[in-house]
Chain A
């Protein structure tokens, strides 16, 4: 099953004009998506100028005065900027290291599992928690992890006889709780794409390998993993390109007075700036967003380059 790079360019040596003309139907297909792209992405993108302006609702986006790099300076000189960038990176790198491979492993294991019914049940049940809103999941998490009345506290007491330490009170635990509860909630959902990719793997390869005497584990390594590798590469590129974005909602719900030094991240900080100053500070949030996007985009381009060099799959 060789797929990559085997399609010869239509009329490889033909002049560009002719090659374009030959593919007119493809451009026709792209017409609608490109129109959409202009209307709903590139026209509103003009709002990025707000990062260099002092936004005033009365004057509108274009009428607001230019302030140069003031918004960026305000963010980087703010008391918390070093801490929030550090926390954001810690949390997102940790999430990536744990949250990226686990759905893949889960999908591979599920694929190995015998018993169609049990397999389907696991698939369905693990997919459900994704739909419980963050408020519910965080509430439930706190209930479970309470050191007196929660499952954690009760188990601890049963096993050791003493009162458990309050793990929610320790700031250093924050990242573990955040990341692993994310695994708990969304592994099933995130694995769907890999489950789908595995379902397209060639059955005849498995048959051939079995005749050659390969055991199931070897077949996972040599057949299943290569089958999802292209998908996984793209997902990894996309995930790396998302490293600066850690949503504020869950973190905000999990913050408390004792973990603030570890839990304040860029998005929660931006959110609070908007609350405290009374007016949503669109200029500052645009500037911070732009900074994040620059970092993300750069990382994506680098990963994309590396991935293309390594295994040929990339976005562009």
Chain B
């Protein structure tokens, strides 16, 4: 029996240690407690001993108790789905802060399921939410529209920071050193590009004597502007790379009709162009197969092998500022296609839904006060930029001699906020890493010094591209874009198959048409038929009705 007893004793001892671990006692204070479910970040070292936590607690006279949600969006979704079913008031938090991890459909579903509280009556009440109502009318309407669900209720509060850099991630870079080597100018049209690419192919611009140059290279599966084929297709027709509304857009003849750009003749022309580039050996098929690591690796080969690529983040060229591969590249404007189209996939920064109030809370007023606090300029700024006086400053004396890319480009008067540290690239306990509702106007953003590089603005610095990008890309979009469509639950269910299948299928077809697995001349009708059999027509009808309802 000895063995068994020892075994049991060990077991009991362990279980007791476990339960001790759980019994973390919370210091009893007389301040009201608010239980906040918060999407965590692995880069925040401490939430209890955290500048932002303490700042909110002091300012509102509350004590925050955390209920941690996972970092990953899919995980957060799973966890909230479980919480929505197992609604148990004793463990339920008062507010959710979810870092845009829930889709509109989920917010609607859980709102209707009674997990989230409808809050439209408080949102428009200047007594309850003074800071929110102080947001300039035009921007406030954008926030309100984004928050309103298909059933007319608002269940969430949003974050809106129109940072122009994020709107046009499909920024194209061409190898300037190669252009010089083959004696060509920067291409401005798709035809010129082809001409340049042929010169790249035949002229051994990297000078290693091997024909290893890749003309056009990208990462089709990339989510932040790496799909170079989408950038090129937009020289023929506007298409958002399926990143919103399953790729649907407004017909440019009336800006009222919803249509699928990937069924248009212009799109077919774009595919012909891509196929032409491919069969001439000017576009690499690995664009369709590579993952992010390989993509970066190819961009950063010791002997450069890429002629043209597109990418949202300069982090694809690590330490871009002295990365020899990046320093060869030059940002170019969207190319003009044969029909004069020169769009870029425009990923409008629609307000992300950040905070929900739990329907079971018995501290509604406190929740509203808490939520509204995030919209004050000071809190919004701390949330994003860190501790005032340490991480950033608005002291005019310190602005002396500083400028940013937008100011240099003449887009705004001068710098009003100065970033002092590069805390975004570090583990820290200053903020919650931008999780939570907030508001910063475009005007305010343009006056921040160019903080993407974590160093002071230098017009000679090839990595400080925000101003240039704004000029070259920001306006290359149709007059009117299709806003995020909010389908009802019934519609979503009916369309499940179409919503699941079509976006992937279109991407797959682009790859197949380009590489010739599908023939663009003989296979086009079958492609359209396949789309229809997946429910495209039904999807367009519902999208149209939804768009009309939202107008």
Q: B-contacting residues of A (Cβ < 8 Å)?
A: 56-61, 74, 78-80, 138-139, 142-143, 146-149, 163, 166, 168-169, 253, 256-261, 269, 272-273, 275-282, 284
**A143 and B294 in contact (CB under 8 A), knowing A57-B115, A79-B533?**
yes
- Compute how far the CA of A139 lies from the CA of B492 in the bound complex, rounded to whole angstroms: 34
* B533 x A278 contact (CB < 8 A): no
- Seed contacts A74-B497, A257-B512, A278-B492; 15 additional CB < 8 Å A-B pairs: A58-B114, A79-B533, A142-B290, A149-B294, A149-B297, A149-B298, A168-B286, A256-B289, A258-B285, A261-B508, A269-B500, A272-B504, A278-B105, A279-B103, A281-B496
* B511 x A258 contact (CB < 8 A): yes
User: In the assembled complex, how far is the CB of residue B96 from the closest CB belonging to chain A, in whole angstroms?
Assistant: 14
User: In the assembled complex, how far is the CB of residue A267 from the closest CB belonging to chain B, in whole angstroms?
Assistant: 13
Q: Which of B259-318 contact A (CB under 8 A)?
A: 285-286, 288-291, 293-294, 297-298, 301, 305
**A279 and B105 in contact (CB under 8 A), knowing A57-B84, A258-B512?**
yes
The residues of B that contact A284 with a CB separation of less than 8 Å are: 496
Which residue of the partner chain, among A56, A138, A146, A277, contacts B499 with CB atoms under 8 Å? A277
Chain B CB count within 10 A is highest, among A78, A256, A280, for A256
**A169 and B285 in contact (CB under 8 A), knowing A56-B113, A78-B497, A258-B512?**
yes
* A256 x B533 contact (CB < 8 A): no
**A57 and B293 in contact (CB under 8 A), knowing A258-B288, A279-B105?**
no
Q: Which of B517-534 contact A (CB under 8 A)?
A: 517, 533-534
* B81 x A282 contact (CB < 8 A): yes
**A257 and B508 in contact (CB under 8 A), knowing A80-B501, A273-B500?**
yes
User: In the assembled complex, how far is the CB of residue B97 from the closest CB belonging to chain A, in whole angstroms?
Assistant: 20
Q: A-contacting residues of B (Cβ < 8 Å)?
A: 74, 77-78, 81, 84-85, 103-106, 109-110, 112-115, 212, 214, 220-221, 285-286, 288-291, 293-294, 297-298, 301, 305, 489, 492-493, 495-497, 499-501, 503-504, 507-508, 510-512, 515, 517, 533-535
Main secondary structure of the interface of B (DSSP, over half): helix
* B285 x A57 contact (CB < 8 A): no
* B221 x A169 contact (CB < 8 A): no
- Compute how far the CA of A282 lies from the CA of B112 in the bound complex, rounded to whole angstroms: 17
* A57 x B298 contact (CB < 8 A): no
In the complex, residue of chain A having the shortest beta-carbon distance to the beta carbon of B297: A149
- Compute how far the CA of A147 lies from the CA of B289 in the bound complex, rounded to whole angstroms: 11
User: In the assembled complex, how far is the CB of residue B341 from the closest CB belonging to chain A, in whole angstroms?
Assistant: 24
In the complex, residue of chain B having the shortest beta-carbon distance to the beta carbon of A261: B508
* B109 x A279 contact (CB < 8 A): yes
User: In the assembled complex, how far is the CB of residue B515 from the closest CB belonging to chain A, in whole angstroms?
Assistant: 7
* A57 x B294 contact (CB < 8 A): no
- Compute how far the CA of A237 lies from the CA of B510 in the bound complex, rounded to whole angstroms: 43
- Compute how far the CA of A275 lies from the CA of B74 in the bound complex, rounded to whole angstroms: 8
In the complex, residue of chain A having the shortest beta-carbon distance to the beta carbon of B110: A57
* B297 x A278 contact (CB < 8 A): no
User: In the assembled complex, how far is the CB of residue A289 from the closest CB belonging to chain B, in whole angstroms?
Assistant: 15
* B103 x A146 contact (CB < 8 A): no
* B220 x A142 contact (CB < 8 A): no
Which residue of the partner chain, among A56, A139, A279, A280, contacts B293 with CB atoms under 8 Å? A139
* A257 x B84 contact (CB < 8 A): no
In the complex, residue of chain A having the shortest beta-carbon distance to the beta carbon of B534: A79
The residues of A that contact B507 with a CB separation of less than 8 Å are: 257
The residues of B that contact A78 with a CB separation of less than 8 Å are: 497, 501
Which residue of the partner chain, among A61, A169, A278, contacts B106 with CB atoms under 8 Å? A278
* A168 x B289 contact (CB < 8 A): yes
The residues of B that contact A269 with a CB separation of less than 8 Å are: 500
Nearest 9 A-B pairs (CB), nearest first?
A278-B105, A58-B113, A257-B511, A57-B113, A278-B103, A57-B84, A276-B499, A276-B500, A168-B289
* A260 x B508 contact (CB < 8 A): yes
In the complex, residue of chain A having the shortest beta-carbon distance to the beta carbon of B219: A256
The residues of B that contact A261 with a CB separation of less than 8 Å are: 508
The residues of A that contact B511 with a CB separation of less than 8 Å are: 256-258
The residues of A that contact B496 with a CB separation of less than 8 Å are: 74, 273, 276-277, 281, 284
* B106 x A258 contact (CB < 8 A): no
* A149 x B301 contact (CB < 8 A): yes
Q: List 17 A-B contacts (CB under 8 A).
A: A58-B113, A58-B115, A149-B301, A169-B288, A256-B289, A257-B220, A257-B221, A257-B510, A258-B288, A258-B508, A258-B517, A272-B504, A275-B74, A277-B493, A279-B103, A279-B106, A280-B81
User: In the assembled complex, how far is the CB of residue B112 from the closest CB belonging to chain A, in whole angstroms?
Assistant: 6
The residues of B that contact A146 with a CB separation of less than 8 Å are: 286, 290, 294, 297-298
The residues of A that contact B77 with a CB separation of less than 8 Å are: 280
- Compute how far the CA of A260 lies from the CA of B501 in the bound complex, rounded to whole angstroms: 11
User: In the assembled complex, how far is the CB of residue A315 from the closest CB belonging to chain B, in whole angstroms?
Assistant: 27
Chain B CB count within 10 A is highest, among A58, A143, A253, A278, for A278
The residues of B that contact A169 with a CB separation of less than 8 Å are: 285-286, 288-289, 515
- Compute how far the CA of A78 lies from the CA of B501 in the bound complex, rounded to whole angstroms: 9
In the complex, residue of chain B having the shortest beta-carbon distance to the beta carbon of A80: B501
Chain B CB count within 10 A is highest, among A257, A261, A278, A284, for A257
* A57 x B109 contact (CB < 8 A): yes
In the complex, residue of chain B having the shortest beta-carbon distance to the beta carbon of A56: B113
- Compute how far the CA of A276 lies from the CA of B504 in the bound complex, rounded to whole angstroms: 11
User: In the assembled complex, how far is the CB of residue A50 from the closest CB belonging to chain B, in whole angstroms?
Assistant: 10
**A148 and B286 in contact (CB under 8 A), knowing A260-B504, A278-B103?**
yes
- Compute how far the CA of A244 lies from the CA of B166 in the bound complex, rounded to whole angstroms: 42
- Compute how far the CA of A281 lies from the CA of B495 in the bound complex, rounded to whole angstroms: 13
The residues of B that contact A148 with a CB separation of less than 8 Å are: 212, 214, 286, 298, 305
* A139 x B289 contact (CB < 8 A): no
* A79 x B285 contact (CB < 8 A): no
**A280 and B78 in contact (CB under 8 A), knowing A58-B112, A139-B291, A260-B508?**
yes
- Compute how far the CA of A112 lies from the CA of B504 in the bound complex, rounded to whole angstroms: 50
- Compute how far the CA of A80 lies from the CA of B530 in the bound complex, rounded to whole angstroms: 11
The residues of B that contact A163 with a CB separation of less than 8 Å are: 212
- Compute how far the CA of A59 lies from the CA of B87 in the bound complex, rounded to whole angstroms: 11
* B106 x A256 contact (CB < 8 A): no
- Compute how far the CA of A244 lies from the CA of B280 in the bound complex, rounded to whole angstroms: 43
In the complex, residue of chain A having the shortest beta-carbon distance to the beta carbon of B115: A57
User: In the assembled complex, how far is the CB of residue A133 from the closest CB belonging to chain B, in whole angstroms?
Assistant: 13
- Compute how far the CA of A148 lies from the CA of B306 in the bound complex, rounded to whole angstroms: 12
- Compute how far the CA of A257 lies from the CA of B218 in the bound complex, rounded to whole angstroms: 13
The residues of B that contact A258 with a CB separation of less than 8 Å are: 285, 288-289, 508, 511-512, 515, 517
In the complex, residue of chain B having the shortest beta-carbon distance to the beta carbon of A264: B504
In the complex, residue of chain B having the shortest beta-carbon distance to the beta carbon of A147: B286
- Compute how far the CA of A282 lies from the CA of B492 in the bound complex, rounded to whole angstroms: 14
* A278 x B508 contact (CB < 8 A): no
User: In the assembled complex, how far is the CB of residue B292 from the closest CB belonging to chain A, in whole angstroms?
Assistant: 9
- Compute how far the CA of A169 lies from the CA of B289 in the bound complex, rounded to whole angstroms: 6
The residues of A that contact B499 with a CB separation of less than 8 Å are: 276-277
* B81 x A277 contact (CB < 8 A): no
In the complex, residue of chain B having the shortest beta-carbon distance to the beta carbon of A273: B500
The residues of A that contact B289 with a CB separation of less than 8 Å are: 166, 168-169, 256-259
In the complex, residue of chain B having the shortest beta-carbon distance to the beta carbon of A279: B109
The residues of A that contact B106 with a CB separation of less than 8 Å are: 278-279
